[in-house]
Amino acid sequence: MRSKFTVCIMSGAGSLLALLCGCCAAALGVLSGERGVAEDQDTDYYVAAVYEHQLISSPNPEALTSRKQALELMTQNLNIYEQQVMTAAQKGVQIIVFPEDGIHGFNFTRASIYPFLDFMPSPRLVRWNPCLEPQRFSDTEVLQRLSCMAIQGDMFLVANLGTKQPCGGDPGCPRDGRYQFNTDVVFSNNGTLVDRYRKHNLYFEAAFDTPLQADHIVFDTPFAGKFGVFTCFDILFFDPAVALLRDSEVKHVVFPAAWMNQLPLLAAIQIQRAFAMAFGVNLLAANVHQPSLGMTGSGVHTPLKSVWHHDMENFTGHLIISQVAKNPQGLSTKNTTGKMDPTHSQFLKLLAGDAYCEKDSQEVHCDGAPRWNMNAPPTFHSEMMYDRFTLVPVWDREGHLRVCANGLCCYLRYQRPAVSDELYALGVFDGLHTVHGTYYVQVCALVKCGGLGFDTCGQEVTEATGMFEFHLWGNFSTSYIFPLFLTSGMTLETPDQLGWENGHYFLRKRGLSSGLVTAALYGRVYERDYGP
């Protein structure tokens, strides 16, 4: 359930390290008289929070400024972070995640971001509590403030900031003599710097360097075991996102992001939920809230359900608090009810090539194999996500369709109670995506088109009325497939079943709660990102 709460904004910058103000003192007073959620929760669960932050940003990020001016700007964002920590503490939160770029902002040059960077010692080499040892390293004011928040809230805290590291003598050292990294930091509830992750897959971030090797960061917690961490665009790549999960003990991932929504396939909450389902893990995702840039969409996602926030109308931050299972359970890929759903039985017959019968008003017609091309609608092409998809329209109340491109064939068997006055299409793409990043994808997608013309299929749509019961499947050559499922009003749905059958990956759903916007199987062929 989405909760509303009043945010008490601290007035006046004051000292960057000031820990208490009227707002926080009041929150602490309330906390002392209330029981937190954690005290009452089942021991099989922990309490997590993610905060979608409405960024206070520099009006001209490319302008050169002083460290003092940079700290004054960052203090405004840190003050809000502190309020959210205190609100979360009242609810017994044990770990909180803040978004990428939420402290300093974005669109800097390499030179203009420099005053915003903290010095970052390696937590692997140095054990350090910035709040309790503030004089140990210079230019660490932001780290000190975050460390103190973790102590105040008695919770693990994950945040993103810009960091700097001298590199004189290193063969790969930039000409200015330093590395600049987009960095996630993890603090324990006693304020100790547990670890740091430096973003590996940068998204047009000229201010930052890519680490020479990808960080594979896993940190341990006393309440839920091991967590992995990576940032935003990393979620689409093998390293570090998939590589982290080779450790079977990693059941949870923290995910700071500054994600611009791109429909119909890559809205923030879509890919967040799909990652949790695909890998059977919990994903704690915090996005920046900048609707003017298409940035919104955060959530606490498990393989079976999500608590999420998506809001393009209001310009305010939002705190999500949720109980999370310590051992996430994934969707079953097998029938566990003992009774075979009739539509699934028909799907299995189609896969096996068995006889399939259709009944019209007079008689039953059977054939020895599915006749996919009988009365087939026309194939057409349209741009979706900057890629040239091959599609067929979905016109009838029920039927089965096939569309192929390169080696991938996508299949749809569907029924709907009525044909709405909207155009839907089944599309396929099997190739190298080259716009805003280069990576190889195999996609089967049932989408609502932007209008009634074929050229509108692939446009961004958020509202729909079309109701479907369907099986969607394809002969994917990769095992890394993300189920994307979005209904009207930016609502997430859970498939009834998904998994592999006879060399095909499928998704099944009956009983949508609202009109279908997108149902897609988004395959990543990581080994072909750099060529065949």
Q: Residue 501's CB: how many other CB atoms inside 10 A?
A: 17
Active site residue 334: no
Best CA proximity match to 229, nearest among 279, 165, 186: 186
Active site residue 232: yes
Residue with tokens 């994917």, as numbered in its chain: 476
Q: Is 475 exposed, middle or buried (0-12, 13-18, 19+ CB in 10 A)?
A: middle
Which one is catalytic: 23, 148, 232, 457?
232
Active site residue 100: yes
Q: At a CB cut-off of 8 Å and minimum separation 6, what does 29 contact?
A: none
The span from the CA of 421 to the CA of 400, in Å, is: 20
3-state secondary structure of 193: strand
Residue-wise over 393-411: b if at least 16 C-beta within 10 A, else e? Answer: bbeeeebbbbbbbeebbbb
Which one is catalytic: 100, 141, 422, 469?
100
Are residues 336 and 366 in contact, defined by beta-carbon separation less than 8 angstroms? Answer: no
The span from the CA of 105 to the CA of 85, in Å, is: 20
Which one is catalytic: 24, 52, 141, 199?
199
User: Got the DSSP string for 239-308?
Assistant: IIIIHHTTSTTEEEEEEEE-PBPBTTTB-HHHHHHHHHHHHT-EEEEEEB-BGGGTB--EEEE-SS-EEE
Phi, psi of 135 (to 5 degrees): -90, 0
User: Got the DSSP string for 106-161?
Assistant: S---TTTTGGGPEE---TTT----TTT-TTSSSS-HHHHHHHHHHHHHTSEEEEEE
Residue with tokens 């839907």, as numbered in its chain: 424
The span from the CA of 86 to the CA of 125, in Å, is: 31
Are residues 149 and 188 in contact, defined by beta-carbon separation less than 8 angstroms? Answer: no
Q: Which residue type sits at 340?
A: M
Are residues 445 and 452 in contact, defined by beta-carbon separation less than 8 angstroms? Answer: no
- CA–CA distance from 77 to each of 82, 101, 131, 135, 444 (Å)? 9, 10, 18, 23, 41
Q: Which residues are catalytic?
A: 100, 199, 232
